[in-house]
Amino acid sequence: MMHTVRKDRGQGGRGRYALTESEHGHVWGVCSEVEGLFREPRRATYEFFGWVPDGAEVRGWVGCRVWLVPEDTTTDPWLLEDAESPGPRPRTDALLLKGMDDYMGPPEGHRAPVRLHDGYRWLGSCREFTRVLPEEQAAPSVVLRGLSPGDRLRQALAKGSRRALDLDEAWLEIRDDSGEPLTDRLLRPKVRAWRPSSLGPDLIDLELDEELDRPVPGYARPVWDRWLAGPPEGPNAWAGLDTRQREAWLELVRERGCRLEHQDRPAGQLYELDGRHITDEPGLFLALGEAVNGPGGYFGGCVAALADCLRGNFGYTAPATLLWRNFAPAREYLSQVLTADGEPYDLVAAVLEVLAEGRMRVAWA
């Protein structure tokens, strides 16, 4: 979900984080630190019985998106995100896999055979599985440390009633160190407690009775730290990252890119794409984004989003030419990927088709 971020920075411009009322946009307060933003998400545990691997061993981080494809073709596949595995259980034929279910998850009571793939290759199959949800725990609260409260928040705290301390719906707006919008999180905050902050006079630590539904896991923390300092100054700053961190990088590129006001360039531009580091799907869209909109630039995070960007408002005006340098890595890694159902398709060919429909002629060098 995206919304328009206000250009002003609220209380004197201090802080990376602003708690902003969603309907009218007034700023409850601004702070420099948020506790509860960076933590490990809760994951369901799957145990696959009668596991038969398809080639490589499944151990450690498995994939950003692992699809469970039922043998029963009348049942749709479902998704396990950011999946990890300690490997097969010792002295058994079972495999453990932990990850975050998508919004649907498996059908209730479904235990029949499934095959697994990570979007690039088949991982294996099982005769049945069981799913164990994470234990219910007290939701960790969000604490805004060193908050400079706005007048409305001061009034609400002075009243202290349950109604006054229910802030309804708000955005936690997140900006980089230059003050430019980066991303946000939607909250329904209720004030649990507040106290004077050690971070400065007239500042408070505001504890909210709320849990972030999209916390930032540990592996993504270096990516966030890099982007909170400001956008990259040169291209390919993401090239040394693994696929997991590239996905985190692409998410920030996409959310930031959808907040920027892009000036469409005149038609007839020549864009140059550096294809040396396109070894996975996020790498493909990161390279395309930088080709069109420079370091850290966004120009689609999937095929459908690329088609939207080609229609305008993201720096591009048709027709134009894309000079694709070092085409071989994309062809090697992305010409045989898998749909959710496990059907093979050529992602590079799909991207080239969309570019052609958007009147971006591709040349190779």
Q: What is the pLDDT of residues 266-321, one digit of tens each?
A: 999 999 999 999 999 999 999 999 999 999 999 999 999 999 999 999 999 999 99
Task: Concatenate the DSSP letters of all residues of 3-47 into one string.
Answer: -PPPSS-SSTT--SEEEEETTT--EEEEESEEETSBSPPP-EEEE
**Mean pLDDT, rounded, for 339-357:** 97
Which pLDDT belongs to residue 251? 98
**Which amino acid is present at 158?**
A
Q: Is the pLDDT of residue 108 over 80?
A: no
* pLDDT tens track for 160-219: 999 999 999 999 999 999 999 999 999 999 999 999 999 999 999 999 998 888 899 999
pLDDT band for position 337 (cuts 50, 70, 90): very high
The CA-based angle 312-247-189, given to 5 degrees, is 85
Lowest-confidence pick of 12-26, 166-180, 280-294, 342-356: 12-26
Query: What share of the chain in percent tops pLDDT 70?
Result: 94
Least Cα distance to 194 among 146, 140, 138, 139 occurs for 146
Neighbours of 90 (CB within 10 A): 6
* pLDDT tens track for 249-270: 999 999 999 998 888 999 999 9
Q: Is the pLDDT of residue 92 over 90?
A: no
**Mean pLDDT, rounded, for 229-244:** 97
**Mean pLDDT, rounded, for 43-65:** 92
* Count of helix runs (H) and strand runs (E) in the chain: 7, 21
pTM of model > 0.85: yes
**Mean pLDDT, rounded, for 334-342:** 96
Q: Is the pLDDT of residue 9 over 70?
A: no
